[in-house]
Amino acid sequence: MTENYDVIIIGSGAGGGTLAYDLASSGKRILLLERGDFLPRELENWDAKPVFVDGRYITKDTWFDRDGKQFQPQVHYFVGGATKLYGAALYRLRPQDFGEIKHTDGISPAWPLSYDDFEPWYSAAERLYQVHGNAGEDPTEGPHSEPYPWPAVSHEPRLQQISDDLAAGGYRPFHAPCGIMLNEADRPRSICIRCATCDGYPCLVHAKADAEVIAVRPLLGRPNVTLLTGAEVRRLETDDSGRTVTGVVVSRDGNREVYRGDIVAISAGAANSAKILLNSATDKHPNGLANGSDQVGRNYMFHNCKAVAALSKERNDTVFQKTLGINDFYFATKDYEYPMGNIQMVGKSNAEAMRGEQPQLTWFAPEWGLDDAARHSVDWWLTTEDLPVPENRVTTDKDGNVHLTVTMTNNEEADRLYGELKKILNHTGMAAHHVFRKNFYMNMAIPLAGCAHQAGTCRFGTDPATSVLDTNCKAHELDNLYVVDTSFFPSIGAVNPALTAIANALRVGDHLRQRMA
Ligand SMILES: Cc1cc2nc3c(=O)[nH]c(=O)nc-3n(C[C@H](O)[C@H](O)[C@H](O)COP(=O)(O)OP(=O)(O)OC[C@H]3O[C@@H](n4cnc5c(N)ncnc54)[C@H](O)[C@@H]3O)c2cc1C
Ligand code: SF4
């Protein structure tokens, strides 16, 4: 193989897909390497059993925990990456998240750039991914240089009632920012039909603003963009100096192929990007590529989350539930000196997906079947920031497999947030004893496997001794290697990470355009 590309991008998710989209109009020759295929459009897309019970769209990959025990990670190898299944809650980090924040278990470190540096890219990301929201409602949100491109998705009656009850109780609920292509002013022409199978499901009608629909599909057929699916990058080769990536080694249809590009951008997801770099060790860089600092794979974060179903006597007939957010506990409060995190809604429970929770449901309401429980549940998602601890890390073994060692941080803050939710439920007619934790969103028995929000394994910074990437997300130690997925996060905040990955990809895209001009 001889062809030389201007840019090779590895991974087509939030980071890589968006970067490809951004660079395509430059006319540069781009190769997008994706290990998965297009996610099939099939009725199973919207069926809870195949999606949540059978894990139809989860990789068969095996990873290992700190004790060498195997588990199946909740990762998704498709064009569009994890965004094919995501809930499309597209939050900006708060301005304070870019600074240092004290937590019960340590410090969430400052980013080398500020909210103001990211703000224009957040606005551009919201435009591209058609984010619906009402700027100014969320009391912790930073300034917007432009309004959300679409009005917020409206609450259905039960959620509106909860929002009103919360406001009456002194809370400040807001409409959650959301990337679905719903046009409520013109429902007959709306691409999104507002259904109950969104968060955690692929969208059968391609109305979710995911990286495949928004970023990759519009590039198909462009003469300067080549997408190769089923192309798993195994390692990167360098020149003798070790400073330039000269070859991207791919396994495809059982064959070894090597591709060459002037610039290589990895965006395989935080764990897999670290895996590729660590598996690229040679005599020149025995600890792995770009890893003189020994930071590649370290500082793994994935949020300290809880999914909670609250059952009430009233029915909850909400179809699309992910419309409400509460950030009253995002920072320290007068009663607690540490941040607790974000509360939002998760996709509506349904009986099929709840099957694994049956014993607890029987305890709570023996007269109720699963259908009753699902009909009455209101479903919450609690996120507490976890810390970038060096010992929380991805390593690889001699066969190149991922090993994930994680000790959870900020459990006290997460438990406090759960306590605050229970108080909230009292204001909304759902007494605390009607609450149970639910696992089905993260269907796996091992919490480690719930790596939907993975980040941090190649953090950016100004000091090559303590970071892998510079502020343009270029590896300090290489001249032509970039990392543009959530690996670059020095800390993760307590809101969902995808919009920040998308905004950053647009920021890095701008830098690359200038570099290649
Ligand atoms: C069920 C679920 C719900 C979520 N909900 C939300 C939400 O509501 N809001 C939010 O902000 N975030 C959400 N997330 C997280 C969000 O999807 C991720 O943060 C985001 O997609 C990360 O972007 P990325 O570019 O780092 O990785 P990804 O989007 O995962 O992209 C990585 C890509 O690299 C490919 N790849 C991996 N290894 C290789 C290799 N060796 N060679 C070639 N290609 C490779 C993968 O197949 C994939 O396409 C959710 C995630 C899940 C799983
Ligand atoms: S709510 Fe809209 S975007 Fe989400 S799955 Fe349904 S149709 Fe698709």
Q: Which residues contact 69 (CB under 8 A, 6 or more apart)?
A: 446
| Ligand 1 pocket member 33 (CB < 6 A) | yes
Convert the pLDDT of each residue in 182-203 to its tens digit. 999 999 999 999 999 999 999 9
Sign of CA dihedral 143, 144, 145, 151: negative
The residues of the chain scoring below 70 in pLDDT are: 1-2, 354-369, 429-446
- pLDDT for position 444: 29
Ligand 2 centre from 253 Cα, in Å? 33
Q: Note whether 378 and 299 are within 8 A (CB).
A: no
- C-alpha torsion sign, points 172, 492, 418, 71: positive
Q: How far apart are CA 470 and CA 423, in angstroms?
A: 44
Ligand 1 atom closest to the CA of 15, numbered from 1:
25
Distance, CA 194 to ligand 2 centroid (Å)? Answer: 5
pLDDT of residue 441: 32
Q: Is the CB of 483 under 6 A from ligand 1?
A: no
Give residue 348 CA to ligand 2 midpoint distance, Å. Answer: 13
**Does ligand 1 have an atom closer than 6 angstroms to the CB of 233?**
yes
> What pLDDT was estimated at residue 309?
80
Q: Quote the ligand 2 centre to 431 CA distance (angstroms).
A: 31
CA angle in degrees (0–180, nearest 5) for 390-442-451: 25
- Rounded Cα distance, 480 and 82, in Å: 26
Question: 79 CB less than 6 Å from ligand 2?
Answer: no
* pTM: predicted TM-score of the whole model, two decimal places: 0.96
Residue 446's pLDDT is what?
36
The encoded tokens of residue 29 equal 């020759």
Q: How far is the CA of 184 from the centre of ligand 1 (A)?
A: 28
Phi and psi torsions of 228, nearest 5°: -115, 115
> Three-state SS string across 274-292, please?
HHHHHCCCCCCCCCCCCCC
- Model confidence pLDDT, tens digit, residues 313-353: 788 999 999 999 999 999 999 999 999 999 999 888 777 77
